[in-house]
A and B are shown apart, each in its own frame.
Chain A
Amino acid sequence: MFKKFMKKPIGFKLASLWLFAVVFVSVTYDLFPYVQWDAISDFSQGDGPFKVPGHILGTSYDGMDMFTATMHGARMSTFVAVTSVFIGGGIGSLLGISAAYYRGTYDKVMSSIFNMILAIPNLVMSLALISVLANGNSNQPASDFRRVLVLTISLTIVIIPILGRIARASTLQWSSREFVLASKSIGTKNFEIIKRHIVPNVAPAILAIGFFAIGVVMIAEGSLSILGIGIPGGASWGSLLAIGRANLEYSPHEVYIPVACIGLTVISTNYFGDYIRANLDKRESKI
Chain B
Amino acid sequence: METFKYILQRVVIALIVVSGATFLLSLLIQLLPGDPAVMAVPNAMPERVELMRKDMGLDRGVLGFFWKWYTDMWQGNFGNQYSNNDTISVTVLLKRALPTTLLIILYVQIVGLLVSVPLGLISAYREGSRFDRYLQTTLFALSSIPSFALALILVLFMAVRFDWFPVLGYVSPTENFGEHLKGMVLPVLSLSVGITASYTRLLRTDVIATLKDDYIMMANSKGISKSRVLWRHVLRASSTTLLTSAALNMGGLVGGTIITEILFNLPGLGYQIAFAIASRQVISLMSFIAVTAAFYVFFNTMVDVIANIVDPRTKERRV
B292 proximal to A (CB < 8 A): yes
B277 proximal to A (CB < 8 A): yes
Q: Which residues of B contact A229 (CB under 8 A)?
A: 277
Q: Which residues of B contact A222 (CB under 8 A)?
A: 146, 148-149
Judge whether A248 and B17 touch: CB under 8 Å.
no
CB proximity of A162 to chain B, nearest CB, Å:
13
Number of residues on chain B facing chain A (CB within 8 A): 49
Judge whether A119 and B42 touch: CB under 8 Å.
no
In the complex, which residues 145-174 of chain A have their Cβ closer than 8 Å to any Cβ of chain B?
168-169, 172
A266 proximal to B (CB < 8 A): yes
Grouping DSSP codes into helix (H, G, I), strand (E, B) and loop, the A interface class, with mixed when no group exceeds half, is helix
A252 proximal to B (CB < 8 A): yes
A21 proximal to B (CB < 8 A): no
Flag B28-43 by CB within 8 Å of A: 1 or 0 each.
1101111000010010
Q: Which of these, A121, A128, A135, A138, contacts B252 with CB under 8 Å?
A: A121
Q: Which residues of B contact A129 (CB under 8 A)?
A: 28
In the complex, which residues 1-43 of chain B have their Cβ closer than 8 Å to any Cβ of chain A?
16-18, 20-21, 24-25, 28-29, 31-34, 39, 42
In the bound complex, how far is the Cα of B27 from the Cα of A117, in angstroms? 13
Given known A-B contacts A135-B33, A248-B156, A112 and B262 have beta carbons under 8 A apart:
no
Flag A77-120 by CB within 8 Å of B: 1 or 0 each.
00000000000000000000000000000000000110111011
In the bound complex, how far is the Cα of B264 from the Cα of A245, in angstroms? 12
Judge whether B255 and A116 touch: CB under 8 Å.
no
Judge whether A128 and B140 touch: CB under 8 Å.
no
Given known A-B contacts A131-B277, A274-B140, A137 and B289 have beta carbons under 8 A apart:
no
In the bound complex, how far is the Cα of B144 from the Cα of A259, in angstroms? 12
Judge whether A248 and B149 touch: CB under 8 Å.
no
Given known A-B contacts A124-B255, A132-B32, A135-B32, A248 and B152 have beta carbons under 8 A apart:
yes
B263 proximal to A (CB < 8 A): yes
In the bound complex, how far is the Cα of B27 from the Cα of A129, in angstroms? 11
Q: Which of these, B141, B146, B274, contacts A262 with CB under 8 Å?
A: B146
Q: Which residues of A contact B280 (CB under 8 A)?
A: 131
B256 proximal to A (CB < 8 A): yes
In the bound complex, how far is the Cα of B25 from the Cα of A113, in angstroms? 12
Q: Which of these, B21, B144, B256, contacts A215 with CB under 8 Å?
A: B144
Q: Which residues of A contact B52 (CB under 8 A)?
A: none
B293 proximal to A (CB < 8 A): yes
Judge whether B28 and A219 touch: CB under 8 Å.
no
Judge whether B160 and A116 touch: CB under 8 Å.
no
In the bound complex, how far is the Cα of B151 from the Cα of A241, in angstroms? 12
Flag B218-234 by CB within 8 Å of A: 1 or 0 each.
00000000000000000
Judge whether A259 and B24 touch: CB under 8 Å.
no
CB proximity of A247 to chain B, nearest CB, Å:
11
In the complex, which range does the number of interface residues on chain A fall in? 35 or more
Judge whether B156 and A227 touch: CB under 8 Å.
no
A40 proximal to B (CB < 8 A): no
Given known A-B contacts A131-B277, A132-B29, A267-B144, A123 and B155 have beta carbons under 8 A apart:
no
Judge whether B28 and A128 touch: CB under 8 Å.
yes
Q: Which of these, A127, A131, A267, contacts B145 with CB under 8 Å?
A: A267
Flag A246-257 by CB within 8 Å of B: 1 or 0 each.
001100100110
In the bound complex, how far is the Cα of B297 from the Cα of A94, in angstroms? 26
Judge whether B293 and A119 touch: CB under 8 Å.
yes
Judge whether A117 and B32 touch: CB under 8 Å.
no
Given known A-B contacts A124-B273, A169-B319, A112 and B16 have beta carbons under 8 A apart:
yes
CB proximity of B97 to chain A, nearest CB, Å:
14
Q: Which of these, A112, A116, A263, A271, contacts B146 with CB under 8 Å?
A: A263
Interface centre among B24, B149, B293 (most CB of A within 10 A): B149
What is the chain A residue whose CB lies nearest that of B255?
A: A121
A175 proximal to B (CB < 8 A): no
In the bound complex, how far is the Cα of B197 from the Cα of A270, in angstroms? 14
A199 proximal to B (CB < 8 A): no
CB proximity of A282 to chain B, nearest CB, Å:
15
* 24 residue pairs A–B, Cβ–Cβ below 8 Å: A112-B20, A113-B20, A116-B21, A116-B24, A117-B24, A119-B17, A120-B255, A120-B293, A121-B258, A122-B255, A123-B255, A123-B258, A123-B259, A124-B255, A127-B273, A131-B280, A172-B319, A222-B149, A226-B262, A227-B262, A248-B155, A259-B152, A266-B145, A267-B145
Nearest 6 A/B pairs, CB to CB: A121-B255, A116-B20, A267-B144, A219-B146, A119-B293, A259-B149
